[in-house]
Amino acid sequence: MSEKKENRVIVTVLGQDRVGIIASVATIIADAGANILDISQTIMQGEIFSMIMVIDMAVATISYDQLRATLEQKGNELGVQIMAQHEDVFKFMHRI
């Protein structure tokens, strides 16, 4: 099944590593009815957590703006930065 690019969102997480980051972010996405298409995460130098997710929002039950705000709020609670951007905006901002 092919996902339309306009339904895809890139979620990035960066901050001090701690228990529960992936679970918290994945729960918000699942509760929104969105689907995680791809995920990459690493812990740099044993303490800095970094994660990128590609999310399909084609059948999500909340809007992109609601998802973005919920993720940002959770990031504040966890002490990490969580950003959500439409895939085309993310690619434009990070092109070489």
Q: What is the pLDDT of residue 2?
A: 46
Instruction: Give Cα 39 distance to the centre of its chain.
Output: 9
Is residue 91 scored above 70 in pLDDT? Answer: no
Q: Is 94 contained in some domain?
A: no
Q: What is the CATH number of the domain that holds 52?
A: 3.30.70.260
pLDDT value of residue 44: 92
Question: Is 61:91 a contact under the CB 8 Å cutoff?
Answer: no
- 95 lies in some domain: no
Distance CA 47, CA 34 (A): 29
Read off the pLDDT band of 20 (50, 70, 90).
Answer: very high
Total count of domains within the chain: 1
Task: Give the per-residue pLDDT at 1.
Answer: 45
The verdict on residue 89 lying in a domain is no
Write the pLDDT tens digit of every residue in 38-86: 999 999 998 999 999 999 999 999 999 999 999 999 999 999 999 999 8
CA torsion 37-66-81-55 (nearest 10°) is 10
Domain assignment present for residue 34? The answer is: yes
Going by C-alpha positions, the residue among 62, 77, 65 that lies closest to residue 25 is 77
Is 87 within a domain?
Answer: no
pLDDT given at position 89: 58
86 domain-assigned = no
Q: Which domain holds residue 63?
A: 5-80
The pLDDT of 3-27, averaged and rounded, is: 90
| Confidence at residue 31, expressed as pLDDT on a 0 to 100 scale | 97
For residue 91, tell me if it sits in a domain.
no
Higher pLDDT, 40 or 87: 40
